[in-house]
Chain A
Amino acid sequence: MKRLGTLAGLLFLFSIPLWLGNFYLLHVLIITGIFIIAAMSLNLLLGYTGQLSLGHAAFFGIGAYVSSLASLGFAVHLLPDWLVTLDPQPVWLGMACAIVITGLCGFAIGKVAFKVRGAYFVIVTISFAEVVRLVALNWDELTQGPMALNNIPPLSVVIPGLVDITFVGKPANYYLVLVFAILTYAIIARLVRSRAGRAMIALKENEALAASVGIDVTKYLVLAAVVSAAAAGAAGALYAHYVRIVDPNVFLFIYTVTMVIMVVAGGKGTLAGPVVGGVIFGLLPEGLRSLAIAPEVQWIVYGVLMILVVYLLPQGIVPALRAYRQRSRSLEPQDAPGANASARQAMP
Chain B
Amino acid sequence: MLKIEGLVCRYGKVAAVRGLSLEVRKGELVALIGANGAGKSTTLKAISGLVAPAEGRLTFEGEDITRSSARRILQLGIAHCPEGRRVFPYMTVTENLQMGCHLRRDAASVASDMRKLFDRFPILYERRAQTAGTLSGGEQQMLAIMRSLMSRPKLVLFDEPSLGLAPTMVERVFDIIKSIQAEGVTVVMVEQNAFAALELSDRAYVLEQGRMTLTGTGAELLNNPDVKAAYLGA
Q: Which residues of A contact B (CB under 8 A)?
A: 195, 198-199, 201-202, 205-206, 208-216, 341, 344-345, 347-348
Contacts and interface: CB of A to CB of B under 8 A. Distances in A.
A216 B86 contact: no
Contacts of B102: 195, 198-199, 202, 213-215
A198 B101 CA distance: 12
Given A213-B102, A214-B70, A198 B86 contact: no
B181 to A, nearest CB: 21
Contacts of B80: 212
A213 B99 contact: yes
Contacts of B224: none
CB-CB nearest 5 A-B residue pairs: A214-B74, A205-B88, A214-B71, A209-B86, A212-B80
A344 B130 CA distance: 7
B50 A202 contact: no
Interface of B: 48, 50, 69-71, 74-75, 80, 82, 86-91, 95, 98-100, 102-103, 126-127, 129-131, 133-134, 147, 151
Given A198-B95, A199-B102, A202-B99, A212 B130 contact: no
Contacts, number: 68
7 contacts: A198-B98, A198-B99, A205-B89, A206-B86, A213-B74, A215-B102, A341-B126
Contacts of A216: 69, 71
A212 B103 CA distance: 11
A290 B75 CA distance: 62
A213 B146 CA distance: 12
The A interface, classified by DSSP as helix, strand, loop or mixed, is helix
A345 B94 CA distance: 13
B70 A211 contact: yes
Contact of A213 (B89, B90, B100): B100
B175 to A, nearest CB: 24
Contacts of B95: 198
Interface centre among A206, A209, A345 (most CB of B within 10 A): A209
A178 B178 CA distance: 59
B151 A208 contact: no
A344 B100 CA distance: 24
Given A208-B50, A209-B88, A214 B130 contact: no
A348 B129 contact: no
Contacts of B151: 213-214
Nearest to B73: A214
A206 B133 CA distance: 13
B91 A213 contact: no
A202 B91 contact: yes
Given A198-B99, A211-B70, 11 more contacts: A201-B88, A205-B89, A205-B91, A206-B88, A209-B82, A209-B86, A209-B88, A212-B70, A212-B74, A213-B99, A347-B133
B98 to A, nearest CB: 7
A11 to B, nearest CB: 33
Nearest to A211: B70
B84 to A, nearest CB: 10
A348 B90 contact: yes
B17 to A, nearest CB: 18
Contacts of A347: 130-131, 133-134
A338 B134 CA distance: 16
Contact of A212 (B82, B131, B133): B82
Nearest to B70: A211
Given A211-B50, A214-B75, A205 B90 contact: yes
A47 B102 CA distance: 21
Contacts of B133: 347
Contacts of A348: 90, 131
Contacts of B103: 214
B153 to A, nearest CB: 11
A195 B91 CA distance: 13
A56 B48 CA distance: 36
A215 to B, nearest CB: 6
A52 B34 CA distance: 40
Contact of A345 (B50, B91, B129): B129
B40 to A, nearest CB: 16
A210 B126 CA distance: 25
A201 to B, nearest CB: 7
A213 B147 contact: yes
B16 to A, nearest CB: 16
Contacts of A209: 82, 86-88
A201 B131 CA distance: 14
A205 B127 CA distance: 20
B135 to A, nearest CB: 9
A172 B172 CA distance: 66
A347 B151 CA distance: 28
A32 to B, nearest CB: 30
A198 B100 CA distance: 11
Contacts of B75: 214
